[in-house]
Amino acid sequence: MTVLRFREAVRAAMVEEMERDERVYLVGEEVGHYQGAYKVTEGMLDKFGSRRVIDAPITESGFTGISIGAAMVGLRPIVEYMTWNFSAVAFDQILNNAAKLRQMSGGQLSIPLVLRAPNGSAKQVGSQHSHAMEHFYAHVPGLKVLAPAMPADAKGLLKSAIRDDNPVLFMESETLYGVKGEVPDDPDFIVPLGVASIVREGTDVSIIAWSRMVHVAIEAAAELEKEGISAEIVDLRSLRPLDEETIVKSVTKTHRAVVAHEGWPYGGVGAEIADRIQRLAFDELDAPVLRATTLDVPMPYNARLEQYVIPQASRIIENVHRVLYKS
Protein backbone atom coordinates (compact mmCIF):
# COMPACT_ATOMS: atom_id res chain seq x y z
CA MET A 1 0.00 0.00 0.00
CA THR A 2 1.13 3.52 -0.77
CA VAL A 3 -0.67 6.75 -0.08
CA LEU A 4 -1.42 8.35 -3.42
CA ARG A 5 -3.46 11.29 -4.60
CA PHE A 6 -6.34 10.47 -6.93
CA ARG A 7 -4.42 11.86 -9.93
CA GLU A 8 -1.41 9.70 -9.06
CA ALA A 9 -3.62 6.63 -8.77
CA VAL A 10 -5.00 7.27 -12.25
CA ARG A 11 -1.46 7.72 -13.55
CA ALA A 12 -0.24 4.56 -11.81
CA ALA A 13 -2.99 2.53 -13.51
CA MET A 14 -2.00 3.86 -16.93
CA VAL A 15 1.72 3.37 -16.35
CA GLU A 16 1.31 -0.20 -15.11
CA GLU A 17 -0.95 -1.17 -17.99
CA MET A 18 1.30 0.48 -20.57
CA GLU A 19 4.26 -1.41 -19.12
CA ARG A 20 2.27 -4.64 -19.25
CA ASP A 21 0.80 -4.24 -22.72
CA GLU A 22 2.54 -2.70 -25.73
CA ARG A 23 -0.81 -2.17 -27.45
CA VAL A 24 -1.88 0.43 -24.87
CA TYR A 25 -1.11 4.06 -25.70
CA LEU A 26 -2.31 7.46 -24.52
CA VAL A 27 -3.52 10.34 -26.68
CA GLY A 28 -5.04 13.72 -25.89
CA GLU A 29 -4.53 17.45 -25.72
CA GLU A 30 -1.46 18.43 -23.65
CA VAL A 31 -0.90 14.91 -22.30
CA GLY A 32 2.77 14.83 -23.32
CA HIS A 33 5.05 17.83 -23.25
CA TYR A 34 2.77 19.91 -21.04
CA GLN A 35 2.46 16.91 -18.65
CA GLY A 36 -1.34 17.00 -18.64
CA ALA A 37 -3.71 19.91 -18.12
CA TYR A 38 -4.40 18.53 -14.62
CA LYS A 39 -0.96 16.90 -14.32
CA VAL A 40 -2.45 13.43 -14.41
CA THR A 41 0.04 12.36 -17.10
CA GLU A 42 3.12 13.90 -15.49
CA GLY A 43 6.30 12.06 -16.45
CA MET A 44 4.60 9.71 -18.87
CA LEU A 45 6.14 11.18 -22.03
CA ASP A 46 9.64 10.73 -20.56
CA LYS A 47 8.84 7.19 -19.62
CA PHE A 48 7.15 5.99 -22.79
CA GLY A 49 8.22 8.41 -25.52
CA SER A 50 6.17 10.22 -28.14
CA ARG A 51 5.14 7.05 -29.92
CA ARG A 52 2.97 6.04 -26.96
CA VAL A 53 2.17 9.35 -25.28
CA ILE A 54 0.76 11.47 -28.05
CA ASP A 55 -0.09 15.15 -28.00
CA ALA A 56 -3.11 15.81 -30.19
CA PRO A 57 -4.24 19.15 -31.55
CA ILE A 58 -7.72 20.39 -30.62
CA THR A 59 -9.63 17.78 -32.58
CA GLU A 60 -11.81 15.81 -30.11
CA SER A 61 -13.84 14.21 -32.83
CA GLY A 62 -10.72 13.47 -34.89
CA PHE A 63 -8.62 11.81 -32.20
CA THR A 64 -11.61 9.96 -30.80
CA GLY A 65 -12.41 8.56 -34.24
CA ILE A 66 -8.76 7.67 -34.80
CA SER A 67 -8.69 5.83 -31.49
CA ILE A 68 -11.83 3.91 -32.41
CA GLY A 69 -10.18 2.89 -35.68
CA ALA A 70 -6.97 1.87 -33.92
CA ALA A 71 -8.94 -0.14 -31.36
CA MET A 72 -10.90 -1.83 -34.11
CA VAL A 73 -7.71 -3.30 -35.53
CA GLY A 74 -6.19 -4.38 -32.23
CA LEU A 75 -4.64 -1.49 -30.30
CA ARG A 76 -5.96 -0.45 -26.87
CA PRO A 77 -6.02 3.35 -26.80
CA ILE A 78 -6.57 5.58 -23.78
CA VAL A 79 -8.01 8.94 -24.79
CA GLU A 80 -7.85 11.90 -22.44
CA TYR A 81 -10.21 14.84 -22.96
CA MET A 82 -9.31 18.06 -21.23
CA THR A 83 -12.77 17.84 -19.67
CA TRP A 84 -15.72 15.55 -20.32
CA ASN A 85 -17.63 18.68 -21.31
CA PHE A 86 -15.55 18.81 -24.51
CA SER A 87 -16.42 15.22 -25.32
CA ALA A 88 -19.68 16.62 -26.65
CA VAL A 89 -17.67 17.53 -29.74
CA ALA A 90 -16.89 13.83 -30.14
CA PHE A 91 -20.35 12.62 -29.17
CA ASP A 92 -21.04 11.34 -32.67
CA GLN A 93 -17.91 9.20 -32.61
CA ILE A 94 -18.69 7.80 -29.15
CA LEU A 95 -22.40 7.21 -29.72
CA ASN A 96 -22.60 6.29 -33.39
CA ASN A 97 -19.30 4.45 -33.76
CA ALA A 98 -17.67 3.28 -30.52
CA ALA A 99 -20.95 2.04 -29.03
CA LYS A 100 -22.56 0.65 -32.16
CA LEU A 101 -19.80 -0.85 -34.29
CA ARG A 102 -19.81 -4.22 -32.63
CA GLN A 103 -23.50 -4.72 -33.27
CA MET A 104 -23.47 -3.11 -36.74
CA SER A 105 -20.73 -5.51 -37.78
CA GLY A 106 -22.63 -8.53 -36.49
CA GLY A 107 -20.11 -8.98 -33.68
CA GLN A 108 -17.04 -9.02 -35.95
CA LEU A 109 -15.46 -5.94 -34.38
CA SER A 110 -14.65 -5.01 -30.80
CA ILE A 111 -13.58 -1.56 -29.64
CA PRO A 112 -11.25 -1.93 -26.61
CA LEU A 113 -11.05 1.77 -25.87
CA VAL A 114 -10.82 3.88 -22.70
CA LEU A 115 -12.03 7.47 -22.72
CA ARG A 116 -11.13 9.42 -19.58
CA ALA A 117 -11.26 13.01 -18.38
CA PRO A 118 -12.07 15.37 -15.55
CA ASN A 119 -15.81 15.63 -15.02
CA GLY A 120 -18.41 17.70 -13.24
CA SER A 121 -18.14 20.98 -11.40
CA ALA A 122 -14.98 22.69 -10.22
CA LYS A 123 -14.74 26.21 -8.87
CA GLN A 124 -16.34 28.97 -10.94
CA VAL A 125 -15.31 27.65 -14.33
CA GLY A 126 -18.64 28.51 -15.90
CA SER A 127 -21.28 26.58 -17.72
CA GLN A 128 -19.18 24.96 -20.48
CA HIS A 129 -16.60 23.43 -18.12
CA SER A 130 -18.83 22.27 -15.27
CA HIS A 131 -21.24 19.61 -16.27
CA ALA A 132 -21.29 15.97 -15.13
CA MET A 133 -21.52 14.08 -18.41
CA GLU A 134 -21.97 10.48 -17.26
CA HIS A 135 -25.75 10.76 -17.61
CA PHE A 136 -25.52 11.18 -21.38
CA TYR A 137 -23.30 8.16 -21.83
CA ALA A 138 -24.81 5.74 -19.30
CA HIS A 139 -27.92 5.81 -21.53
CA VAL A 140 -26.07 4.08 -24.34
CA PRO A 141 -25.87 0.29 -24.72
CA GLY A 142 -22.44 -0.68 -25.99
CA LEU A 143 -20.66 1.66 -23.55
CA LYS A 144 -19.52 1.11 -19.97
CA VAL A 145 -19.35 4.07 -17.59
CA LEU A 146 -17.24 4.31 -14.43
CA ALA A 147 -17.09 7.08 -11.82
CA PRO A 148 -14.85 6.28 -8.83
CA ALA A 149 -14.64 8.34 -5.66
CA MET A 150 -11.53 6.88 -3.99
CA PRO A 151 -7.91 6.73 -5.21
CA ALA A 152 -7.70 2.93 -4.82
CA ASP A 153 -10.89 2.46 -6.82
CA ALA A 154 -9.61 4.87 -9.46
CA LYS A 155 -6.54 2.73 -9.95
CA GLY A 156 -8.28 -0.63 -9.81
CA LEU A 157 -11.17 0.37 -12.04
CA LEU A 158 -9.01 2.07 -14.63
CA LYS A 159 -6.85 -1.04 -14.89
CA SER A 160 -10.01 -3.12 -15.43
CA ALA A 161 -11.19 -0.60 -18.02
CA ILE A 162 -7.92 -0.80 -19.97
CA ARG A 163 -8.15 -4.60 -19.99
CA ASP A 164 -11.82 -4.61 -21.04
CA ASP A 165 -12.70 -5.34 -24.67
CA ASN A 166 -15.44 -2.70 -24.81
CA PRO A 167 -15.44 1.11 -24.92
CA VAL A 168 -15.21 2.24 -21.30
CA LEU A 169 -15.76 5.84 -20.17
CA PHE A 170 -13.95 6.90 -17.02
CA MET A 171 -15.18 9.96 -15.11
CA GLU A 172 -12.70 11.75 -12.82
CA SER A 173 -14.21 14.49 -10.71
CA GLU A 174 -12.15 17.60 -11.24
CA THR A 175 -12.31 18.34 -7.51
CA LEU A 176 -10.98 14.93 -6.42
CA TYR A 177 -7.53 14.97 -8.06
CA GLY A 178 -5.83 16.03 -4.82
CA VAL A 179 -7.67 13.54 -2.58
CA LYS A 180 -5.31 11.09 -0.89
CA GLY A 181 -5.84 7.44 -0.09
CA GLU A 182 -4.14 4.10 0.42
CA VAL A 183 -3.61 2.40 -2.92
CA PRO A 184 -2.38 -1.18 -3.44
CA ASP A 185 0.98 -1.45 -5.22
CA ASP A 186 0.35 -4.93 -6.58
CA PRO A 187 0.29 -4.64 -10.40
CA ASP A 188 -2.38 -7.36 -10.44
CA PHE A 189 -4.73 -5.36 -8.21
CA ILE A 190 -7.91 -4.54 -10.08
CA VAL A 191 -11.46 -3.57 -9.13
CA PRO A 192 -14.06 -5.41 -11.20
CA LEU A 193 -16.57 -3.35 -13.17
CA GLY A 194 -20.15 -3.32 -11.93
CA VAL A 195 -19.48 -3.84 -8.23
CA ALA A 196 -20.50 -1.13 -5.77
CA SER A 197 -18.88 -0.64 -2.37
CA ILE A 198 -20.41 0.26 0.97
CA VAL A 199 -18.25 3.09 2.23
CA ARG A 200 -20.26 3.56 5.42
CA GLU A 201 -22.61 1.14 7.11
CA GLY A 202 -25.94 2.50 8.40
CA THR A 203 -29.45 1.46 9.27
CA ASP A 204 -31.88 4.36 8.71
CA VAL A 205 -31.38 5.47 5.10
CA SER A 206 -29.30 4.52 2.05
CA ILE A 207 -27.49 7.35 0.33
CA ILE A 208 -26.54 6.14 -3.16
CA ALA A 209 -23.80 8.19 -4.78
CA TRP A 210 -20.70 8.09 -6.96
CA SER A 211 -17.64 10.19 -7.70
CA ARG A 212 -17.44 13.48 -5.79
CA MET A 213 -20.89 13.04 -4.28
CA VAL A 214 -19.64 10.11 -2.21
CA HIS A 215 -17.45 12.58 -0.30
CA VAL A 216 -20.36 15.00 0.06
CA ALA A 217 -22.49 12.11 1.30
CA ILE A 218 -19.82 11.24 3.90
CA GLU A 219 -19.99 14.84 5.12
CA ALA A 220 -23.80 14.65 5.22
CA ALA A 221 -23.73 11.33 7.09
CA ALA A 222 -21.48 12.82 9.79
CA GLU A 223 -23.99 15.63 10.32
CA LEU A 224 -26.90 13.20 10.32
CA GLU A 225 -25.17 11.08 12.93
CA LYS A 226 -25.26 14.04 15.30
CA GLU A 227 -29.05 13.95 14.97
CA GLY A 228 -29.08 10.23 15.66
CA ILE A 229 -29.73 9.26 12.02
CA SER A 230 -27.62 6.37 10.74
CA ALA A 231 -26.93 6.67 7.00
CA GLU A 232 -25.48 3.91 4.85
CA ILE A 233 -23.49 5.13 1.87
CA VAL A 234 -23.38 3.05 -1.30
CA ASP A 235 -20.58 4.12 -3.66
CA LEU A 236 -21.66 2.77 -7.03
CA ARG A 237 -18.21 3.22 -8.68
CA SER A 238 -19.68 1.84 -11.89
CA LEU A 239 -22.86 3.21 -13.52
CA ARG A 240 -22.96 0.75 -16.39
CA PRO A 241 -22.88 -2.07 -15.52
CA LEU A 242 -24.87 -1.13 -12.42
CA ASP A 243 -24.70 -3.13 -9.20
CA GLU A 244 -28.43 -3.52 -8.70
CA GLU A 245 -27.92 -6.21 -6.09
CA THR A 246 -25.98 -4.05 -3.63
CA ILE A 247 -28.49 -1.20 -4.03
CA VAL A 248 -31.43 -3.49 -3.34
CA LYS A 249 -29.66 -5.12 -0.41
CA SER A 250 -28.95 -1.77 1.19
CA VAL A 251 -32.51 -0.49 0.68
CA THR A 252 -33.86 -3.77 2.07
CA LYS A 253 -31.89 -2.98 5.20
CA THR A 254 -32.73 0.74 5.55
CA HIS A 255 -36.10 0.98 3.74
CA ARG A 256 -35.33 4.52 2.56
CA ALA A 257 -33.12 5.87 -0.20
CA VAL A 258 -31.70 9.17 -1.44
CA VAL A 259 -29.69 9.22 -4.68
CA ALA A 260 -27.08 11.99 -4.76
CA HIS A 261 -25.38 13.03 -7.98
CA GLU A 262 -24.00 15.93 -9.93
CA GLY A 263 -25.76 16.61 -13.19
CA TRP A 264 -29.31 17.59 -13.99
CA PRO A 265 -32.21 15.60 -12.55
CA TYR A 266 -34.29 15.22 -15.73
CA GLY A 267 -33.62 11.79 -17.21
CA GLY A 268 -30.43 11.39 -15.20
CA VAL A 269 -28.89 8.23 -13.76
CA GLY A 270 -30.64 9.01 -10.45
CA ALA A 271 -33.99 8.53 -12.17
CA GLU A 272 -32.84 5.12 -13.41
CA ILE A 273 -31.81 4.09 -9.90
CA ALA A 274 -35.07 5.33 -8.40
CA ASP A 275 -36.94 3.28 -11.00
CA ARG A 276 -35.00 0.14 -10.19
CA ILE A 277 -35.52 0.51 -6.47
CA GLN A 278 -39.29 0.91 -6.84
CA ARG A 279 -39.41 -2.02 -9.25
CA LEU A 280 -37.15 -4.42 -7.36
CA ALA A 281 -37.75 -3.43 -3.75
CA PHE A 282 -41.19 -1.81 -3.70
CA ASP A 283 -42.34 -3.71 -0.63
CA GLU A 284 -39.24 -2.70 1.29
CA LEU A 285 -39.77 1.04 0.84
CA ASP A 286 -41.13 3.20 3.63
CA ALA A 287 -40.88 6.41 1.58
CA PRO A 288 -40.53 7.49 -2.05
CA VAL A 289 -36.94 7.51 -3.36
CA LEU A 290 -35.67 11.08 -3.57
CA ARG A 291 -32.83 12.63 -5.52
CA ALA A 292 -30.32 15.31 -4.52
CA THR A 293 -28.96 16.65 -7.82
CA THR A 294 -27.56 19.71 -9.50
CA LEU A 295 -30.41 22.17 -10.07
CA ASP A 296 -32.09 22.11 -13.45
CA VAL A 297 -30.14 25.05 -14.92
CA PRO A 298 -26.76 25.55 -16.66
CA MET A 299 -23.94 26.20 -14.17
CA PRO A 300 -23.64 29.88 -13.21
CA TYR A 301 -20.23 31.53 -12.77
CA ASN A 302 -21.18 33.55 -9.68
CA ALA A 303 -19.68 31.74 -6.67
CA ARG A 304 -22.71 31.92 -4.41
CA LEU A 305 -25.09 30.84 -7.15
CA GLU A 306 -22.72 28.06 -8.16
CA GLN A 307 -22.74 26.66 -4.64
CA TYR A 308 -26.53 26.97 -4.66
CA VAL A 309 -26.80 24.96 -7.89
CA ILE A 310 -24.30 22.18 -7.00
CA PRO A 311 -25.63 19.59 -4.54
CA GLN A 312 -24.19 20.27 -1.07
CA ALA A 313 -24.34 18.10 2.04
CA SER A 314 -27.26 20.26 3.14
CA ARG A 315 -29.29 19.16 0.11
CA ILE A 316 -28.64 15.51 0.89
CA ILE A 317 -29.57 16.07 4.54
CA GLU A 318 -32.77 17.85 3.53
CA ASN A 319 -33.77 14.88 1.36
CA VAL A 320 -32.87 12.40 4.10
CA HIS A 321 -35.16 14.34 6.43
CA ARG A 322 -37.93 14.12 3.85
CA VAL A 323 -37.63 10.34 3.39
CA LEU A 324 -37.66 10.03 7.19
CA TYR A 325 -40.69 12.36 7.33
CA LYS A 326 -38.72 14.64 9.64
CA SER A 327 -38.99 17.87 7.68
C-beta atoms surrounding 322 within 10 Å: 15
Residue pair 119/172 in contact by the 8 Å Cβ criterion: yes
30 belongs to the catalytic site: no
3-state helix, strand, coil in the chain (%, to 5): 40, 20, 40
Give the residue, chosen from 5, 7, 102, 256, that forms a contact with other proteins under the rule CB under 8 A: 102
Nearest approach in angstroms of CB 41 to other proteins is 18
C-beta atoms surrounding 187 within 10 Å: 14
Neighbouring residues of 109: CB distance < 8 A, sequence distance ≥ 6: 72, 101, 102
Nearest approach in angstroms of CB 71 to other proteins is 7
Cα diameter, the chain: 60
Helix axes 151-163, 6-20, angle to 10 degrees: 30
Give the residue, chosen from 35, 42, 61, 184, that forms a contact with other proteins under the rule CB under 8 A: 61
Give the residue, chosen from 41, 64, 119, 197, that forms a contact with other proteins under the rule CB under 8 A: 64
Q: Which of 16, 17, 80, 129 is catalytic?
A: 129
Give the residue, chosen from 107, 228, 304, 325, that forms a contact with other proteins under the rule CB under 8 A: 107
**Residues 143-182, mask of contacts with other proteins (x by CB under 8 A):** -x-------------------xxx----------------
Nearest approach in angstroms of CB 165 to other proteins is 4
Helix (H) or strand (E) holding 292: strand 290-292
SS3 118: strand
Give the residue, chosen from 37, 109, 248, 305, that forms a contact with other proteins under the rule CB under 8 A: 109
Closest C-alpha to 78, from 86, 88, 70: 70
Decide if residue 246 touches other proteins (CB under 8 A). Answer: no
Nearest approach in angstroms of CB 111 to other proteins is 9
Nearest approach in angstroms of CB 24 to other proteins is 11
129 belongs to the catalytic site: yes
Decide if residue 190 touches other proteins (CB under 8 A). Answer: no
Rounded CA-CA distance 67/169 in Å is 13
- Summarize as ranges the residues that interact with other proteins (CB under 8 A): 25, 51, 56-57, 59, 61-75, 92-93, 96-97, 101-110, 112, 141-142, 144, 164-166, 193-194, 240-242
Annotated active-site positions, please? 60, 129
